[in-house]
Structure 1
């Protein structure tokens, strides 16, 4: 019986119009369904219902198409809607075929006037999308939607803000994560205000463009699952919320026009997404200069912005805790060479990814802030430190498993305190000698850290904000060294992340940028080394310390510089050394000397002072050109010379002039697509230049090649900015 019903439905779906016969057939179908007994086959009945619904839609399409065709004949436009065969628009015929078959798959097409006729397809594909040529008979007094530009509004100057009440209202309510962020914003309000006044004075009333900025916190949306909010009061990770609270505050304090989205519905409203399933472009120009989001938000934008995402992606900044390297970011290259993961492949400029710590120079370092102490507070802390008191870094009971061995050693010297979350009973994983305070509010945790001498890590979580807060409160941070370093090749946590970075300890920033006496990194598996470290810590006196880049002023300085100077939408013209001229030359004479010259007391080369430097940020005055060792990345090569790798400078050294300046012997110079280029092989005397700018990579390395590395200087306490970058 089912087969009979389905056959009759199929024949009905192929009808071109309705008739008396059709009505009779519908009656027969209804009678057949009434006689049919489900006998447990509910799913099949539901399928039949869906087919009936689809049939109704198809009949509606047929009727609409018939009406449109009749109207086209009356209006004389039918001949004007032949599908063009224009070599400038090779995809047009295929797109029209797709529209014929699928235009009802998303209501957004009807929103833009598509009605099933070829005329409507061509209008849509030429005026909303850009796959077909404009129709000659259409009124082109207004530009197509995809080319429409916002009227050039006069630039407005950004003014520093110290009142955070508007921001607090914008953050919203209803989730514990939002409450946590608002508490943090309030607690640091005075420090942000002081920092704003300092930076304002430092910039000396310099003009700053006010930007229209959308912040879409994707990981806190219900659509992404939001696993974070329910765990805020249960020992869950807070690092991301700390960073987002600080980003929101920095953007607000810097005086920008801010909109905040915590749901897909809000995102759609702010962007002007047409109703439907996200297949169509936005209804108008992008209403924002910048969009800050995360990987979850980026995926949501892809689902709802249609083709507009590709057009507007240069405005996006992705907050990315662990970093995304260029080899993983370039979709085709990642797929072909084994770098494809669930997170990378967006084909952004790698500097559009913004990290929590400055571990990936290919990305921009966003960071967060830690509370800064005044001199009175610092003196009080030093006077009240308990030399034999340690606090363990680990809020979840599972982190304590298998740690009793070295905790026993620690217990011989110090009173051990924990802040492990529990509901009713003490977690069995926490040894009995540990004084567990349970999960503490931030102000109480702060007081505990101000008394303790030692803050000790278990190896996880990686790279969180807590160690910096402990060091800022006068603790020494003790952490395990990893042998071998943890990476996506050998550790489950990093597997699938778009980075090949090797993590040498729980907190590499603390190890490399702060170091002794504030940070000690030892092998926890060596009980003698661990014991010795504890005794050394008890003998060592330290003052509270906070790197400038993690103060409110440091973050404001950094974010201000990014907003005013980073522009990934402006086309980057190819760098052609032959077009450069000598500085001060009135006739614009071409240069004949070297572009890169030796720097005093350095093995690096710098930009020749007599050559006019092309516009760039960071400026070329910061460039330090080095050669790596074989197997060494530019991150390591620059760091070993006390510099930072600067990916923005790659395009200026990706040429024969740089090879010549470094006295590299090349029998062959090829241009290829490979993330280790520019580089050369000493043995084979082969040199390679980069053909794909998205693959310029500080992180790339190869045992067979030495790399050309564009290093730069940096401001004291602010590795993200060169000395002339502010």
Structure 2
């Protein structure tokens, strides 16, 4: 062993380190269970165990005969750098990478909104009067896009699946980049390990050095992967993590002991974070933080052109997968009496049988073309799913009225399969409660679709609106 004789390596009895002896016993029996111990110099001797447990982990006291006078370069604090706004997104697009349809979707969104991001950056720079801001080192690990989590979203991008999460992640990446932070992006466990300095092995040991980031943005999949590969370091660095969590996490589900004792334990949750570290798509609750996404801004000329070109009896259905149209014939028939109904439903060769013959189906449209369709339409109508996505706000921004179903009773993890297992008991009163509560009439109308008279009255009212 590096230095040290057996007499210098007796297990110390120090009340400040009560777990030292039991940890040495554990190492004697199990040090070969993970190659990471050998990576840190453990060789089966008590000296190597004590060096490891005092210098890599923190269960034993520092050894008097070890030389601690030199400070490793990694521990020297680096000088703070100023964050400068960026308006050219080329380097970000290169960083996002290729090889997944989901990444291509995110890059298309970043490109499409590039000019608006540049304008927003210049505006904020003036508002802040060019004040000094610290450049943060930030890792963004998009766990749900990793192969290890199943990457369920990439195959759905071209088949009409919900894209709300990808919209939000594209906007988070762009916002952090435009604000001038030092950004690293990871969409695989291998990249995550490399960025964090994970030692080779099975994840039992801490990181090889200090955490190289001020902040880590991830999701529940990424959090699970970090737990698997960071060992004790995750607990040590928890406060640096921000979890992008669409529907939110309530305190009862976050507190491990409470969740276990009171039946709130789910596949997610129970991480014992500060609940403000969970960041949601919409501001559901003061328990969590609100991250959001961006909605396009139209200038006065665009707004005027949209109003001039609106087709008064044109409706677009919010639902790109054929399965979303099942059982919706009754109220679609009512809508068809008054309006021309358009769909953007994915199909390969044959028109989906779930889509009625009177619907003009454009197939799955690129985002730019969908925007043009929304700019012509008067009505954007939801079927109840997907919940709380960005599309209704984009439709409203393009001058549409959003018509959506009221849920009686409200949907929640207690009565609805989609929410089952999610770390919240929040009751969702409509497809988009935020639009219902904070935007409301005349831009948003929420009605009971099971009540034909109420639905038809709403359509009448929409037809009369200027």
* TM-score, normalised via structure 2 length: 0.97
Residue aligning to 1:352: 277
CA distance in 2, matches of 1:141, 1:74: 16
Superposed displacement of residue 86, structure 1: 2.0
Superposed displacement of residue 510, structure 1: 0.4
Q: Secondary structure at the match of 2:354?
A: coil
Q: Secondary structure at the match of 2:402?
A: strand
Distance 1:526 1:113, change over 3 A: same
CA distance in 1, matches of 2:75, 2:275: 28
Of the structure 1 ranges 73-82 and 393-402, higher mean CA displacement relative to structure 2 is found in 73-82
User: Which of residues 180, 190, 193 is equivalent to 1:265?
Assistant: 190
CA distance in 1, matches of 2:11, 2:94: 53
Superposed displacement of residue 384, structure 1: 0.9
Superposed displacement of residue 153, structure 1: 2.1
CA distance in 2, matches of 1:213, 1:227: 25
| Number of residue pairs the alignment of both structures matches | 464
Residue aligning to 2:177: 252
Distance 1:283 1:470, change over 3 A: same
1:167-224: CA deviation from partner (whole Å, max 9, x where unpaired): 0110001111111111110100000000011111111122211101111111111111
In the TM superposition, 1:302-317 aligns within 5 A as 302-317=227-242
CA distance in 2, matches of 1:520, 1:103: 63
Superposed displacement of residue 140, structure 1: 2.2
Distance 1:74 1:197, change over 3 A: closer
1:464-506: CA deviation from partner (whole Å, max 9, x where unpaired): 1110111011100000001111111111111111111110000
CA distance in 2, matches of 1:351, 1:411: 45
1:364-401: CA deviation from partner (whole Å, max 9, x where unpaired): 11111122211111111111111111111001111111
Of the structure 1 ranges 205-214 and 469-478, higher mean CA displacement relative to structure 2 is found in 205-214
CA distance in 2, matches of 1:407, 1:393: 12
CA distance in 2, matches of 1:449, 1:307: 50
Tell me the C-alpha RMSD between the 2 structures. 1.5
CA distance in 2, matches of 1:223, 1:503: 31
Q: Which runs of 5+ in 2 are unaligned?
A: none
Superposed displacement of residue 78, structure 1: 1.0
1:578-619: CA deviation from partner (whole Å, max 9, x where unpaired): xxxxxxxxxxxxxxxxxxxxxxxxxxxxxxxxxxxxxxxxxx
CA distance in 1, matches of 2:150, 2:376: 39
- Runs of 4+ aligned structure 1 residues displaced above 2 Å come to 73-76
1:77-102: CA deviation from partner (whole Å, max 9, x where unpaired): 11222222222111111111111111
CA distance in 2, matches of 1:75, 1:183: 58
Q: Secondary structure at the match of 2:419?
A: coil
User: Which of residues 24, 39, 46 is equivalent to 1:111?
Assistant: 39
1:75 and 2:75 equivalent? no
Residue aligning to 1:121: 49
Superposed displacement of residue 149, structure 1: 7.0
CA distance in 2, matches of 1:241, 1:344: 22
Superposed displacement of residue 75, structure 1: 7.7
CA distance in 2, matches of 1:115, 1:141: 24
Distance 1:74 1:266, change over 3 A: closer
Conserved 8 A contact 2:198-2:206: yes
1:499 and 2:424 equivalent? yes
1:30-64: CA deviation from partner (whole Å, max 9, x where unpaired): xxxxxxxxxxxxxxxxxxxxxxxxxxxxxxxxxxx
CA distance in 2, matches of 1:134, 1:404: 73
Q: Secondary structure at the match of 1:234?
A: coil
Superposed displacement of residue 142, structure 1: 4.0
CA distance in 1, matches of 2:64, 2:78: 31
Residue aligning to 1:198: 123
Structure with higher RCO (Cα < 8 A, 6+ apart) = 2
Q: Secondary structure at the match of 2:315?
A: strand
1:660-702: CA deviation from partner (whole Å, max 9, x where unpaired): xxxxxxxxxxxxxxxxxxxxxxxxxxxxxxxxxxxxxxxxxxx
CA distance in 2, matches of 1:174, 1:309: 29
CA distance in 2, matches of 1:76, 1:242: 57
User: Which of residues 238, 243, 252 is equivalent to 1:318?
Assistant: 243
Residue aligning to 2:221: 296
Superposed displacement of residue 288, structure 1: 0.6
Distance 1:74 1:126, change over 3 A: closer
CA distance in 2, matches of 1:403, 1:531: 14
CA distance in 1, matches of 2:216, 2:100: 23
Q: Secondary structure at the match of 1:270?
A: helix
Distance 1:74 1:381, change over 3 A: closer
Distance 1:435 1:110, change over 3 A: same
1:92 and 2:17 equivalent? no
CA distance in 1, matches of 2:161, 2:5: 63
Q: Secondary structure at the match of 2:313?
A: strand
Superposed displacement of residue 135, structure 1: 1.6
Superposed displacement of residue 74, structure 1: 13
Distance 1:473 1:141, change over 3 A: same
Q: Secondary structure at the match of 1:440?
A: coil
1:317-350: CA deviation from partner (whole Å, max 9, x where unpaired): 1111000111111111111122111110111111
CA distance in 2, matches of 1:75, 1:335: 47
Distance 1:462 1:76, change over 3 A: closer
CA distance in 1, matches of 2:118, 2:186: 25
Conserved 8 A contact 2:4-2:65: no
1:128-166: CA deviation from partner (whole Å, max 9, x where unpaired): 00111112222222469xxx9732222211111101011
